[in-house]
């Protein structure tokens, strides 16, 4: 309404008095021509015929003059409306950056009362684009249903179980207000995309592709299977994680979350291991560093999977630009991740391993985070944080013996969010690793999502776990702090 009121006054200001006078005169002359003084007098038919011809000629001339005057008023009106809407657009631009240029251009062509000089009438303005809105979480899911092996814990049911949990009312409401957004159909990476990242040897990538085409389905090692679709499945995981990295650095979201499988943190430079084919976390790190070299010099990887991320550990062992920190169960697969593994050569000190004793739970891992993970991160000052988010330390999980509650993942995720905001403008991406219980896994992921949008824990009941060996955990934590001078 404000635009239309100001528009009318603006039109009046731009139309000269001469034009109003011309319109007024034209209508007066028209009136006197149509109704002359002798119109009621008796006249001859010949005289009446002449007057009629003169009347037609006068009307034609006056209509032309009137048309000219109206066009001048119309032109002034458009200019006046444009002035009003330019001022309104400038005000709107200062308060909201989401107004599109197309909608401003359309407003310049609009009359204050909704009319238009063009032949097209009743044209509606374009809807203001919301693409500039930054979501709290942008997540992508890659189910890879054909990458499956009957009876194997790393099964195709994992991602659907998570997505079903995310259909709860809380998350539906969050999707409505666009604080949680799903990235549909993330692109698949290619071998050519992986080569410059230099995380796996080219021979390994070629042999894995050949194996998928000629030998699959088969067992690659004691725990890792291969189907004809597994090679593409692993590439899809990397494609999804990398596009989330792009979204974070382009300001489209605060947090990226890749719900992908197979996991990746066990995959080493020259081969697969522990359900993993390609190391998704390592790919995300290298992609960020190469794609955004001016913004990303140093990256921190925090791995809270119950198993040590030996692949990520080894890939970055000599790299001083990557800080790798892992809290995991001591003695579990693959048997690596000792306190003494601190990195090599120039990377010495950038590998921090915290092997928690079996039975450790929420109290132990939060103590490790607060006294090791956070201080190490603040000392390192990363430009980006990648989280290898494994949910197999949950007390329900059958593959290990740590006893995290569902809410433990809320506490870890909220701490990670705060850390990223303090150190690297909130730039953080979570990548799904382990988690094999189809109740514990969805609960843990849901807790992470709740934390990342600033909501309280969703856990309603205490699972009644055994008391954890906190004193043993404290001894490990103190030793790690001593080794790394934290």
Residue 267: other Cβ atoms inside 10 A: 33
Sign of CA dihedral 263, 269, 274, 278: positive
Q: Which of 266, 308, 394, 410 is catalytic?
A: 266
266 included as an active-site residue:
yes
Residue 119: other Cβ atoms inside 10 A: 5
Nearest CA to 234 among 298, 277, 268? 277
- Spatial distance between the Cα atoms of 238 and 234, rounded to a whole number of angstroms: 7
Extract the runs of DSSP E, i.e. beta strands, from 108-191.
Answer: 135-142, 180-182
Sign of CA dihedral 115, 116, 120, 122: negative
- Spatial distance between the Cα atoms of 245 and 472, rounded to a whole number of angstroms: 38
b/e map of 164-179 (b: 16 or more CB within 10 Å)?
ebbeeebbeebbeeeb
Extract the runs of DSSP E, i.e. beta strands, from 346-485.
Answer: 351-356, 384-389, 428-432
- Spatial distance between the Cα atoms of 105 and 94, rounded to a whole number of angstroms: 17
Would you call 266 helix, strand, or coil by DSSP?
A: coil
Residue 285: other Cβ atoms inside 10 A: 28
- Spatial distance between the Cα atoms of 404 and 360, rounded to a whole number of angstroms: 8
Catalytic (active-site) positions: 266
């Amino acid at each position: 309404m404000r635009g239309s009121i100001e528009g009318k006054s603006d039109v009046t200001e731009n139309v000269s008095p001469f034009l109003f006078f011309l319109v007024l005169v034209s209508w007066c002359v028209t009136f006197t021509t149509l109704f002359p003084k002798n119109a009621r007098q008796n006249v001859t038919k010949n005289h009446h015929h002449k007057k009629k011809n003169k009347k037609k000629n006068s009307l034609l001339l006056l209509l032309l003059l009137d048309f000219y005057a109206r066009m001048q008023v119309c032109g002034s009106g458009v200019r006046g409306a444009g002035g009003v809407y330019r001022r309104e657009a400038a005000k709107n631009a200062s308060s909201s950056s989401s107004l599109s240029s197309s909608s401003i251009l359309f407003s310049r062509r609009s009359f204050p009362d909704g009319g238009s000089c063009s032949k097209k009438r009743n044209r509606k303005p374009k809807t203001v684009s919301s693409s500039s809105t930054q979501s709290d979480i942008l997540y992508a899911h890659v189910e890879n249903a054909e990458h499956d092996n009957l009876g194997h814990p790393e099964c195709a049911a994992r991602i659907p179980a998570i997505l079903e949990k995310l259909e709860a009312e809380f998350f539906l409401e969050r999707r409505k207000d666009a604080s949680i957004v799903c990235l549909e159909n993330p692109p698949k990476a290619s071998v050519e995309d992986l080569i410059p990242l230099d995380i796996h040897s080219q021979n390994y990538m070629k042999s894995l592709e050949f194996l998928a085409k000629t030998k699959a389905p088969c067992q690659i090692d004691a725990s890792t299977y291969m189907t004809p679709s597994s090679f593409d499945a692993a590439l899809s995981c990397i494609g999804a994680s990398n596009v989330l990295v792009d979204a974070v650095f382009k300001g489209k979201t605060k947090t990226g979350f890749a719900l992908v499988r197979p996991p990746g943190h066990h995959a080493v430079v020259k081969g697969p291991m522990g359900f993993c084919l390609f190391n998704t976390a390592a790919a995300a790190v290298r992609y960020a560093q190469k794609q955004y070299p001016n913004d990303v010099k140093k990256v921190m990887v925090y791995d809270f999977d119950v198993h040590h991320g030996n692949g990520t550990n080894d890939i970055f062992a000599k790299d001083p630009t990557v800080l790798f920190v892992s809290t995991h169960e001591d003695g579990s697969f693959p048997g690596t991740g000792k306190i003494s593994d601190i990195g090599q050569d120039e990377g010495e000190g950038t590998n921090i391993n915290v092997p928690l004793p079996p039975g450790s739970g929420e109290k132990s891992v939060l103590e490790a985070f607060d006294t090791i993970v956070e201080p190490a991160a603040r000392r390192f000052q990363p430009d980006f944080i990648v989280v290898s988010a494994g949910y197999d330390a949950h007390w329900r999980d059958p593959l290990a013996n740590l006893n995290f509650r569902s809410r433990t993942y809320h506490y870890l995720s909220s701490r990670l969010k705060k850390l990223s905001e303090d150190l690297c403008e909130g730039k953080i991406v979570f990548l799904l690793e382990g988690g094999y219980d189809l109740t514990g896994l969805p609960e843990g992921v849901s807790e992470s999502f709740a934390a990342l949008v600033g909501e309280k824990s969703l856990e309603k009941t205490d699972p009644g776990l055994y008391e954890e060996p906190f004193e043993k955990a404290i001894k490990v934590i103190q030793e790690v702090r001593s080794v790394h001078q934290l």
